[in-house]
Structure 1
Amino acid sequence: MLSAGFLSAHPDLRYRLLGLNKMEQGEHEDAFRFFQRAAYYADKPSQGMVAEMLWNGQGTQKDPVLAYVWMDLAAERGYSGFLGLRERYWKALNEADRTRAIEEGQTLYAKYGDAASQPRLARVLGREKRRMTGSRTGFTGNLKIYVPGPGGIEQIDGSKFYDERYWDPKQYQAWHDSIWMKPRVGQVTVGEIEQAREQTPASRIPDTVPEIDAQEPETPETDETGLGSRKDG
């Protein structure tokens, strides 16, 4: 229940974990939806998963152009694995595809780019921290919180439940950056990595006006543990 409470307060991690669970169960369409919902809350690994699924036509119709845009989103903070994949995608597109990617990319950036998605996540973190503190969750030192990471499921000691790195938006992003900038495993969950060049170009998609209040993607309902499979009624 502690893990469930933590994940409910961190929708980026919660929906990424649900997406990974659905992938393991072979329910790829549901996985695709969960990764999109995690992406709505600035989750770069989930944006990379959406890209790979679009690239391979897994759980959704194959679309290399949108795959490139989603991988560009995943690479927005300069994470090396996603940058390498983004450049591999770009090389595979023809000129017409590249033009379409730049045009359609602006719409996706308006909804899923950090300028829109990070304020959403910050609102949830602040609200849930106040709620958790007000409810006096209790002693957490001997418990474990399980969250998804580049090498699989990772543990956070319950004693760290209220650590500012998990609740302050700037520190929370810095924590993610420390994990994903250069993952300590040979590959991330989105597939084979190509090393990005030292002078990797910035995003090719022009800046857009962020739509912070854009509609949140819909997903199947889950039980309170975050691991259920109950469908929308």
Structure 2
Amino acid sequence: MLTGSAGFLAAHPDLLYRGRGWQAFKRGDHKEAMRWFVRAARYADKPSQVMIAELLWNGQGRPADRALAYVWMDIAAERGYEGFVSLRELYWHQLEPAERQSALERGQSVYAEYGDPAAKPRIAQVLRRERARMTGSRTGSRSGALWISLVGPDGDEHLIHGTEYYAEKFWDPEAYQAWHDATWQTPRAGSVEIGDLEQMKDAPPQE
């Protein structure tokens, strides 16, 4: 039974909102997907920032805006995750000069709200607060038949056994960051849809 998912996700808004974004995306409601991915992005969720960029680039849920799409992909790539950096460079290669200038002009305000210096303290504050509120035995009530359903890479379901509920990687901000780094540092084939950019994989970015 996935009896612990709701409580766990309420304490991890990045995962909660990303999951809702993927649910909307999979049923074709791109406008709703964008709304949830933006909420997840406020809590430093890099895969949600990638999906915002993809929706903007492809004109899904709103008119295409390639300059703003690049801004979001640039923020998603700020930790140096190889797959996200590659997508950022592919985006830049495709932009027209006027779009590049627009991206540079608009990027600062978006970064100020959603970049790691602003977003990481938000998720850290939530993790510390919810950790302090946790109740229940660390070896009993939350370990037996409990399974927690999370959204993994590609929007697929990923189950975590209840014995991991209190693991440091889910509650300590630094360990939580390290868990995300381990998940996203290695590129995953097909983790995002890049449409027409697929053909540009072997092309070097222009300066």
Fold-level similarity (TM above 0.5): yes
Correspondence for 1:111 among 106, 110, 113: 113
SS state at 1:145 partner? strand
Higher share in helix: 2
2:30 partner letter: H
1:62 partner letter: A
Structure 2 partner of 1:98: 100
* Residue 16 to residue 140, structure 1, CA distance change in 2 (3 Å): same
Matched, 1:187 2:178: no
SS state at 2:44 partner? coil
Q: Residues of 2 paired with 1:32 and 1:74: CA distance?
A: 15
Q: Residues of 2 paired with 1:191 and 1:2: CA distance?
A: 34
Structure 1 partner of 2:159: 155
Q: Residues of 1 paired with 2:202 and 2:16: CA distance?
A: 29
> How many Å apart are 1:189 and its aligned residue?
3.3
SS state at 1:115 partner? helix
Structure 1 partner of 2:74: 72
> How many Å apart are 1:4 and its aligned residue?
0.7
Whether the 8 Å CA contact 1:80–1:195 is kept in 2: the answer is no
2:41 partner letter: A
Deviation readout 1:54-96 (Å, 9 max, x if unpaired): 0000012210000000000110111111111111110111222
Q: Residues of 1 paired with 2:134 and 2:28: CA distance?
A: 34
Correspondence for 2:172 among 147, 168, 188: 168
> How many Å apart are 1:172 and its aligned residue?
0.3
> How many Å apart are 1:97 and its aligned residue?
1.4
SS state at 1:147 partner? strand
Q: Residues of 1 paired with 2:35 and 2:150: CA distance?
A: 19
Query: Which residues of structure 2 form unaligned runs of 5+?
Result: none
* Residue 190 to residue 48, structure 1, CA distance change in 2 (3 Å): farther
> How many Å apart are 1:195 and its aligned residue?
7.6
* Residue 35 to residue 83, structure 1, CA distance change in 2 (3 Å): same
Q: Residues of 1 paired with 2:70 and 2:192: CA distance?
A: 17
* Residue 182 to residue 59, structure 1, CA distance change in 2 (3 Å): same
Q: Residues of 2 paired with 1:196 and 1:37: CA distance?
A: 33
Q: Residues of 1 paired with 2:63 and 2:78: CA distance?
A: 24
> How many Å apart are 1:190 and its aligned residue?
4.4
Q: Residues of 2 paired with 1:7 and 1:62: CA distance?
A: 31
Q: How many residue pairs get matched?
A: 197
- The 5 Å alignment of 1:202-221 reads none
RMSD (Å), alpha carbons: 2.1
SS state at 2:134 partner? helix
> How many Å apart are 1:100 and its aligned residue?
1.4
Deviation readout 1:16-44 (Å, 9 max, x if unpaired): 00000011122111110000000000000
Q: Residues of 2 paired with 1:81 and 1:20: CA distance?
A: 19
Q: Identical aligned pairs, as a percentage? A: 52
SS state at 1:170 partner? helix
TM-score (structure 1 length as normaliser): 0.79
